Structure 1
Amino acid sequence: MPQLALDIGFCRELDSLQKPVKKGVFRTWEKFRALTLPQLYADRGLRLESLETALDPKIRTVRIGDHWRGVVLAPEAGETFVLLKVLPHDEAIAWGAKQKASINPATRNVEIRDIGRLEELTPAVEGLAAGAPATALFAEFSDKELRSLGIDDDTLRRARTLTSMEQLDAFAPVLPPDQSEVLMYLATGWTVKEVWKDIVAHRAVAEDVPLEPGDFESAIRRTSSRIALVTAPEELSAILDQPFSAWRVFLHPTQHRIAYRSGYSGPAQISGGPGTGKTVVALHRVKYLLGQLAKDERILLTTYTKPLENALRSGLRQLVEDRAAVDRVDICTVDSFAHRVITRSGTRPLKPVSGEVEESYWQRVVDELQLSWTPQFLAQEYRHVILAQDIENETAYRNASRRGRGSALHPNRKPEVWRAVQRFTELLADKGLCTYPQRAALAARLLRESGPPYRHVVVDEAQDLHPAQWRTLRAAVAEQPDDLFIAGDPHQRIYDSKVSLKAVGISVAGRSARLRKNYRSTQEILGWATALLIGRPVGELAGSGHEDTLADCRSALRGTVPVTAAARDAEQELDQLVKQLRGWLSAGVAAEEIGVTTRFNRAVETVLARLRREDIPARSLRSEGTGAKGAVAVGTMHAFKGLEFRCVAVHGARQGAVPFPKAVTPPEVDRVQHDTDLMAERCLLFVAATRAREQLYVSWTGTPSEFLREAGLA
Structure 2
Amino acid sequence: MPQLALGKQFFASGEYDELPPSARKNIRLAMEKFSLLTHAELKADKGLNFKPPQGRRNRSIFTFKVDNFYRGVVLAPESGDSYLLLKVLAHDAAYDWANKQDAGVNQLTGAVEIWNAEALERATPDLEERAAPTAPEQRLFAKVSDGELTTLGVTEKVLRAARTAVDADDLADIVPFLPEDQAEVLQYLAAGFSVEEIWRDVVAHRPSGAVGGDLDTAIRNTPTRVRLVSGLDELEEILSQPFAAWRTFLHPAQRRIAYKASYPGSYQVTGGPGTGKTVVAMHRVKHLLTYLRPGERILFTTFTNTLASALRTGIRQLVDDPGRLERLDITTVNAQTSQVLTEAAGGRAPRFVNDLQELDRWRRIVGEQGLEWSAEFLQQEYRHVVLAQRLDTLEEYQKADRRGRGNRLAAPQRERVWRALTAFTEGLDADGVQTHLRGCDQAARLLEERGPRFRHVVVDEAQDLHPAQWRLLRAAVAPAPDDLFIAGDPHQRIYDAKVSLKALGINVVGRSQRLRRNYRSTQQILTWSRPLLEGEEVEALADGGTESLAGYRSALQGPRPTTHAATTPGEEWDALVKRVREWLDAGVEPSSVAVAARFRWAVGDTVSALTGAGIEACELRGSDDDTPGVRVATMHSLKGLEFRCVAAVGVSEGVVPNPKAITDARVDEIQHATDLMAERCLLFVVCTRARDHLHVSWHGRPSPFLVEAGIA
Q: Same fold judged by TM-score > 0.5?
A: yes
1:317 aligns with 2:320: no
Higher mean Cα deviation, 137-146 or 19-28? 19-28
Aligned to 2:179: 176
Give the structure 2 partner of residue 114 of structure 1.
116
Q: Out of 138, 142, 159, which is 1:139 matched to?
A: 142
Pair 1:105–1:713, CA change in 2 (3 A): farther
Q: What is the aligned partner in structure 1 of residue 29 from structure 2?
A: 27
Matched, 1:298 2:297: yes
Question: Could you tell me how far 1:138 is from its partner in structure 2?
Answer: 2.0
List aligned pairs for 1:489-568, cutoff 5 A.
489-543=489-543, 545-568=544-567
Match of 2:245 in 1: 246
Distance 1:279 1:285 in 2: 10
Please give the alpha-carbon distance, in whole angstroms, between the structure 2 residues aligned to 1:660 and 1:128: 51
Q: CA deviation at 1:84?
A: 1.0
Structure 1 partner of 2:225? 226
Displacement of 1:470: 0.4
Structure 1 residues 522 and 550, CA gap change in structure 2 (3 angstroms): same
- Which digits, 9 at most, give the CA deviation of each residue in 1:277-312, with x for residues without a partner? 111111122222222222222211111101111111
State the partner residue of 1:275.
274
What residue is the counterpart of 1:600 in the other structure?
599
Distance 1:417 1:508 in 2: 35
CA distance in 2, matches of 1:635, 1:591: 14
Q: Which moved more, 1:571-580 or 1:12-21?
A: 12-21
The CA distance in 1 between the partners of 2:592 and 2:502, in whole Å, is 39
Asked if structure 2 preserves the Cα contact closer than 8 Å seen for 1:106 and 1:200, the reply is no
| Equivalent runs, 1:331-350 vs 2, <5 Å | 331-346=330-345, 350=350
2:54 to 39, 52, 55: 52
1:478-522 CA-to-partner distances (Å, cap 9, x unmatched) read: 111121111111111101212232232211123212222222111
Q: Secondary structure at the match of 1:695?
A: strand
Q: Cα gap change, 1:186/1:597 in structure 2, threshold over 3 Å: closer, same or farther?
A: same
Q: 1:191 aligns with which of 189, 194, 203?
A: 194
Q: Give the AA of the match of 1:601.
A: R
Q: Is the 8 A contact 1:266 1:481 kept in 2?
A: yes
Partner of 1:675: 673
Q: How does 1:325-474 map to 2 (within 5 A)?
A: 325-346=324-345, 350-474=350-474
Paired residue type of 1:191: S
What displacement does 1:625 show?
Answer: 6.7
What CA distance in whole angstroms lies between the structure 1 residues aligned with 2:53 and 2:151?
A: 34
**Paired letter, 1:222:** N
Partner AA of 1:697 in structure 2 = H
**Equivalent residue number for residue 572 of structure 1:** 571
Q: Equivalents in 2 of 1:21, 1:202: separation in Å?
A: 38
Alignment of 1:626-637 (within 5 A): 626-637=624-635
Is 2:166 aligned against 1:154?
Answer: no
* Distance in 1 separating the partners of 2:613 and 2:549: 40
1:71 aligned residue (70, 73, 76): 73
Task: Pick one of 30, 35, 41 that aligns with 1:39.
Answer: 41
- Distance in 2 separating the partners of 1:164 and 1:451: 57
CA contact (8 A) 2:313 2:623 kept: no
**1:173-231: per-residue Cα shift (whole Å, max 9, x none)?**
2211001111111111211111111211122636xx5x43x222222221121112222
Compute the displacement of 1:36 (Å): 2.8
In 2, the alpha carbon distance for the partners of 1:193 and 1:25 equals 44
SS at match of 1:648: strand
> CA offsets per residue over residues 448-485 of structure 1, 9 Å max, x none?
12221111111111110100010011111111112111
**1: CA distance between counterparts of 2:223 and 2:490?**
31
Amino acid at match of 1:711: A
The 2-side partners of 1:710 and 1:127 are apart by 41
In the alignment, the residues of structure 1 paired with residue 702 and residue 22 of structure 2 have an alpha-carbon distance, to the nearest angstrom, of: 43
| Aligned match of 1:640 | 638
Counterparts of 1:459 and 1:420, CA distance in 2: 34
Give 1:353 deviation, angstroms: 2.7
Partners of 1:502 and 1:33 lie apart in 2 by 52
What root-mean-square deviation, in Å, do the aligned CA atoms of Structure 1 and Structure 2 show? 2.0
Q: Which residue identity does 1:440 align to in structure 2?
A: C
Is the aligned partner of 1:11 residue 2:39?
A: no
- Where does 1:683-702 land on structure 2 (aligned, <5 Å)? 683-702=681-700
Indicate conservation of the 8 Å contact 1:592/1:631, yes or no: yes
Larger mean CA deviation between 446-455 and 461-470 belongs to: 446-455
**Counterpart of 2:166?**
163
Question: Aligned equivalents of 1:604 and 1:181: distance in 2?
Answer: 40
Inter-CA distance 630–220: structure 2 relative to 1 (3 Å threshold): same
Query: Structure 1 residue 336: deviation in Å?
Result: 1.1
CA contact (8 A) 1:268 1:484 kept: yes
Q: Report the AA paired with residue 106 of structure 1.
A: L
Q: Letter of the aligned partner of 1:536 in structure 2?
A: E
Larger CA deviation: 188-197 vs 68-77: 68-77
Equivalent AA in structure 2 for residue 452 of structure 1: P
SS in 2 for 1:49: coil
TM-aligned CA distance change 1:8 to 1:523, over 3 Å: same
Q: Report the Cα offset of residue 370 of structure 1.
A: 1.7
Structure 1 pair 313/633, CA: closer, same or farther in 2 (3 Å)?
A: same
Give me the whole-angstrom Cα distance separating, in 2, the residues matched to 1:131 and 1:403.
56
Q: How many residues align?
A: 708
User: Closer, same or farther in 2 for the Cα pair 1:712/1:127, shift >3 Å?
Assistant: farther
Q: Is the 8 A contact 1:507 1:542 kept in 2?
A: no
Structure 1, unpaired ranges of 5+? none
Q: Hey, what's the Cα distance between the residues in 1 that align with 2:323 and 2:271?
A: 32
Opposite residue 502 of structure 1, the aligned amino acid is K
- Other-structure match for 1:619: 618
Contact 1:247 1:280 in 2 (8 A): no
User: Structure 2 vs 1, CA of residues 699 and 248 (structure 1 numbering), >3 Å: closer, same or farther?
Assistant: closer
Tell me if the contact between 1:77 and 1:217 (Cα under 8 Å) persists in the aligned partners: yes
**Distance in 1 of aligned mates of 2:308 and 2:207:** 37
* Residue of structure 1 equivalent to 2:707: 709
Deviation per CA, 1:535-579, whole angstroms, max 9, x where unpaired? 222222241x33222222222211111111111111100111111
Q: The residue matched to 2:533 in structure 1 has which SS?
A: coil
The amino acid that maps onto 1:263 is S
Aligned to 1:478: 478
Matched residue SS, 1:352: coil
Distance in 2 (CA, whole Å) between partners of 1:295 and 1:317 is 21
Letter in 1 for 2:163: R
The one-letter amino acid paired with 2:693 is Q
Shift in Å at residue 232 of structure 1? 0.8
Q: What SS is found at the alignment partner of 2:486?
A: strand
Amino acid corresponding to residue 36 of structure 2 in structure 1: A
State whether residues 618 and 627 of structure 2, in contact with CA within 8 Å, keep that contact through their aligned partners in structure 1: no
TM-score (norm 2): 0.95
For 1:93, the equivalent position in structure 2 comes to 95
Q: 1:75–1:81: 8 Å Cα contact kept in structure 2?
A: yes
Q: Distance in 2 between matches of 1:18 and 1:449?
A: 59
Looking at structure 1, the residues matched to 513 and 555 of structure 2 have their Cα atoms a distance apart, in angstroms, of: 21
Q: Where in structure 1 do 4 or more consecutive aligned residues deviate above 6 Å? A: none
1:247 to 1:443, Cα distance in 2 relative to 1, 3 A: farther
CA contact (8 A) 1:500 1:540 kept: no
For 2:125 and 2:364, the matched residues in 1 are separated by 73
Taking only the aligned residue pairs, the percentage that are identical comes to 52
